[in-house]
Structure 1
Amino acid sequence: MRFTYLIYLLYILLLFNCKSPKEHLTKIEGKQIQITDSIAGDADIEAFIKPYRTHIQKDLDSVLAYSVDTYTKTEGAFNTAIGNFMADAVFDESNPIFKSKTGKNIDMVILNHGGIRSIISKGNITTRTAFELMPFENSIVVVAIKGTQVDSLISYLCKSDTPHPISKLKLSVDKNFNLIEASIQGKKIEPDKTYYVATNDYLYNGGDNMTFFKPDEGLYILDYKIRNALIDNFKKVDTIRPVRDDRFIMKK
């Protein structure tokens, strides 16, 4: 019995003595590797992607329409020609989709000035133009909100001092940015009426501090990207000549 006890004791001592010592991280080093033209490309990879690159470039360079002038988002204090074009294009292309799904019509559109990421240059408009104008994957959604929330939307626009693109909404303010008049599709806004507002998923979720969409009366996801709406609209109109108009003005 005593001999057995000694054997167990010896086994335990050997077990602990054979354990590997614990390793501890004592130092981390790193270095910056510059990616420049001096790094040679991989010929096999280049050969593999070449046909795909050629196909994509051909698609991006395909001509969709013609622009009679150059348009930028800095040309206008309350509304811009390029912003008006984008908001109107979203309305024109998404309303038939929304109506086919719900039997209802979109009442108005609001986008964000910061979402316009490029200009439309005079001359041919290509698919690349649409990708440069809207490089994000933002999709169009339609939000049902009451007239009281539309009032909050209008208050946001009046205070923002930024020409956010709108369509079918008409506003006028005084020199102190106090609202004088507001209408949707030529009609006075009714507090208890439900309005269907097209925007994008980023803004619906509070982007650019547009918190007036929630709570809502319903959300309709069209599964339709803004960029695709622009491409479809370019194809339809052939020639674009957007203008600044009286959809949002200051009366002196």
Structure 2
Amino acid sequence: MHLFPSRLAALSLLTALAFSTACQRGTYVAKPQLAPVTAQPVTPTLPDDATAVATIAPYRQRVTEQMAMVLGTAPVAITKNSGESPLANFVADLQRTRASREMGTPIDLGVMTNGGLRAPLPAGPITMGSVFELMPFENELVVLDASGEVVQHLFDYAARVKMAVSGATYTATPDGKATAILINGQLFNPAQDRLYTIAISDYLAGGGDQLTFFKAIKPRDTGVLLRTAIVEQIQELNKQGKPIEARVEGRVKF
């Protein structure tokens, strides 16, 4: 990390102030008078500032240790691919399981797109760092209550990219339509007067990845970060002595 002297002084003072105000609520601290900062080019030849390196070192060490913590073990890498994806199946399933637990009632469907997953889970030890690479965002797990019409839009979207939906199977027609939809083993009827519960990230619930048909639905919060749900699912499987694995299961038929 490269810091110029004036920037270092400002950083040191602001750090001290941050700790002061965090530990002593209600204590007045005068605003520091900072010297003007002169822009200077940063190049590889600029030496590290020893004070800055020493200040950061304990935090860097703590983060390194946390990221290296092993959560579980995967016999083979859990990857994403076009169409039905082992990694999307794994995450969508755990979303539905965790949302069911948080809400105290079964959740019909779980939705995760490939675009919401940034990296595979590697073969061998899965660390906390592996999960941060998979899910670097602060996305929250939420539940949507969707009408049959909206659910039909979901499956037609899924059919265009051959995406699987947790809790369901369907057939994708050549023209990108979803037919023969079974939700928890029951034939789906979009005209039926009922709501379907969907476990999903707040990003997708807000219309991300072109899931715009969800935008009008007010989500119910679970209070759980999606990354936390992934970490705790892996830890629970490991506690039970189970490997971390997922596969393509034929949830999408052609």
TM-score tier by shorter-chain length is 0.7 to 0.9
**Which residue does the alignment assign to 2:220?**
220
* Deviation at residue 180 of structure 1 after TM alignment: 3.0
Selected match of 2:92 from 77, 87, 90: 87
- What is the distance in 1 between the residues matched to 2:53 and 2:165? 45
Could you list the runs of 4 or more consecutive aligned residues of structure 1 that deviate by over 6 angstroms after TM superposition? none
**Which residue does the alignment assign to 2:147?**
146
**Which residue does the alignment assign to 2:60?**
53
* Deviation at residue 84 of structure 1 after TM alignment: 0.8
**Which residue does the alignment assign to 1:179?**
178
**Which residue does the alignment assign to 1:33?**
41
CA contact (8 A) 1:93 1:232 kept: no
Write out per-residue CA displacement over residues 204-237 of structure 1, whole angstroms, 9 at most, x where no aligned residue: 1111110121433x52011211111110011011
Please give the TM-score of this superposition, normalised by the length of structure 1: 0.77
The share of aligned pairs that are identical, in percent, is 27
Q: Which moved more, 1:178-187 or 1:53-62?
A: 178-187
What secondary structure is seen at the aligned counterpart in 2 of 1:223?
Answer: strand
**Which residue does the alignment assign to 1:21?**
none
**Which residue does the alignment assign to 1:5?**
none
Q: Which has the higher contact order (CA 8 A, sep 6+)?
A: 1
* Deviation at residue 179 of structure 1 after TM alignment: 2.7
1:95-106 maps to which residues of 2 (within 5 A)?
95-99=100-104, 104-106=105-107
- What is the distance in 2 between the residues matched to 1:179 and 1:86? 22
Q: AA paired with 1:134?
A: M
- What is the distance in 2 between the residues matched to 1:134 and 1:205? 17
* Deviation at residue 120 of structure 1 after TM alignment: 1.4
The reply to whether residue 127 of structure 1 matches residue 131 of structure 2 is no
**Which residue does the alignment assign to 1:168?**
167
Please give the TM-score of this superposition, normalised by the length of structure 2: 0.77
Q: AA paired with 2:188?
A: I
- What is the distance in 1 between the residues matched to 2:222 and 2:41? 44
Write out per-residue CA displacement over residues 11-37 of structure 1, whole angstroms, 9 at most, x where no aligned residue: xxxxxxxxxxxxxxxxxxx9883453x
* Deviation at residue 158 of structure 1 after TM alignment: 1.3
Mind listing any 5+ residue stretches in structure 1 that lack a counterpart?
Answer: 1-29
The reply to whether residue 242 of structure 1 matches residue 242 of structure 2 is no
Aligned residues: 211
Write out per-residue CA displacement over residues 101-125 of structure 1, whole angstroms, 9 at most, x where no aligned residue: xxx3211111221111011111000
- What is the distance in 2 between the residues matched to 1:31 and 1:249? 60
CA contact (8 A) 2:169 2:181 kept: yes
**Which residue does the alignment assign to 2:32?**
none
* Deviation at residue 57 of structure 1 after TM alignment: 0.9
Mind listing any 5+ residue stretches in structure 2 that lack a counterpart?
Answer: 1-37
**Which residue does the alignment assign to 2:108?**
107
**Which residue does the alignment assign to 1:4?**
none
State the superposition RMSD in angstroms.
Answer: 2.0
